[in-house]
A = this chain, B = another copy of it.
Amino acid sequence: MTILQGDNLELLKTIKSSSVDLIYMDPPFFTQKTQKLSSKDNITYSFEDTWASIEDYKCFLHNRLIECKRVLKDSGSIFVHCDKTANHHIRLVLDDIFGADMFQNEIIWNYKRWSNSKKGLLNNHQNIYFYSKTKKFKFKTIYTEYSSTTNLDQILVERRRDSNSKTTYKLDDNGDYILSKEKIGVPLSDVWNIPFLNPKARERVGYPTQKPILLLEQIIRIATDENDVVLDPFCGSGTTLVASKILNRNYIGIDLAEEAISITKQRLETIIKTSSNLLKKGIAAYKTKTEEEENILKLLNAKVVQRNKGIDGFLPQHFQDKPIPIKIQKKNEDLNDSILLLQNAIKSKNLKFGIVIKTHTDNLLFESEVLSKNILVISHFELMIEKWLNNK
């Protein structure tokens, strides 16, 4: 919502105390080099990351972090991104300001990247330190899939330990197993495998040290709710703000460089995301097709059609020399609407048959009335299961 240009120390002072839910901070890494990168348009952006001493650098951070703490709500938290060069010094400053007992996690961002053949191991990670302002910080656990080595069916049964801490299965009065409560998945780990931005990806706008949106999305998801306020005092090319916008959070961005501000504003206007295959998984959130619809089409091996009201995809094979269109019932559509939309599309495209996937029941009494011979209505698996279970 707000993008400010200038020294973040001064500008942070203008922000109200206890007003921010999440700060993501990606300060210079103390590389002692000038960071630069040229974009496709041959415009070169750069910033200075050279310091008189590490003390100088720590002081620089210290002053800003004090303001950061002030503007955070009591339920707020801060994520500070650094790399191996100075992560230990940065963490000392954080311990100093937020307190060692407010340290929550060291997040390892792990990526694969080809790099020059230096002696030693390839540097394939960066560190993100997660501190909260108080013990009562906001945290939304993300649950992930179980490892494929886990025997989930085993875990389904309740167990207890006897006095020797031996495990036995719990049995009911009939001697049958007692099943455990619903499983929700494994809480997210502190090591995140997120691909480094492919240099060719469209997402890249030509600003040094740009971070992938997925990384920021994940941070925002675990630390905020919708409409919360996200602050990035070194916003650079604005990835944090873009991710905030995508996830419906409010945002404040600050950067010293005029170019940074203008890139950020541009990006926010036309949100671009890389379509790199590696990243696809997590970006379902703002594609035209919802993930659910995509799954249905994938299951049918269908060719996906974007931006068509009547047709979502086509079956892979023609039938009687005509393609067969698929229409998925949308959330706000009655089945009749869906069928009509498909019928219209069939007529205008001069097709023969079509398929509608019914995804929810609506209240119409005479659903079958509009059914026509050239359209097959198939219920989503979930609907069939629901119907069956309701009779049990």
Residues of A within 8 A of B (CB): 84, 87-89, 91-92, 95, 103-108, 110, 112, 114-115, 117-125, 127, 130, 139, 141, 145-153, 156-157, 176-177, 179, 181-183, 185-191, 222, 277-278, 283, 286-287, 292, 295-296, 298-301, 303-308, 311, 314-324, 345, 349-351, 353, 355, 357, 376, 378, 380-382, 384-385, 388-389, 392
* Interface contact B191-A125, CB-CB below 8 Å: yes
Shortest beta-carbon distance, A105 to chain B, in Å?
5
Pick the contact of A299: B122, B148, B299 (CB < 8 A). B299
In the assembled complex, the Cα of A82 lies from the Cα of B126 at a distance in Å of 17
Pick the contact of A306: B124, B149, B303 (CB < 8 A). B149
* Interface contact A110-B148, CB-CB below 8 Å: no
* Interface contact B185-A303, CB-CB below 8 Å: yes
* Interface contact B182-A317, CB-CB below 8 Å: yes
* Interface contact B376-A188, CB-CB below 8 Å: no
Further pairs besides A122-B189, A177-B349, A378-B385: 10, Cβ < 8 Å: A84-B106, A104-B120, A108-B108, A110-B110, A148-B286, A149-B277, A176-B350, A182-B317, A295-B299, A357-B381
Number of copies: 2
**Could you give 24 example pairs across A and B, Cβ below 8 Å?**
A84-B106, A87-B88, A88-B92, A89-B92, A104-B120, A106-B125, A121-B188, A121-B222, A122-B190, A125-B190, A147-B283, A151-B306, A151-B308, A153-B311, A153-B345, A156-B349, A179-B351, A181-B318, A182-B316, A183-B303, A183-B314, A295-B298, A296-B299, A378-B381
Pick the contact of A88: B91, B104, B376, B388 (CB < 8 A). B91
In the assembled complex, the Cα of A277 lies from the Cα of B147 at a distance in Å of 14
In the assembled complex, the Cα of A188 lies from the Cα of B120 at a distance in Å of 9
* Interface contact A105-B123, CB-CB below 8 Å: yes
* Interface contact A305-B385, CB-CB below 8 Å: no
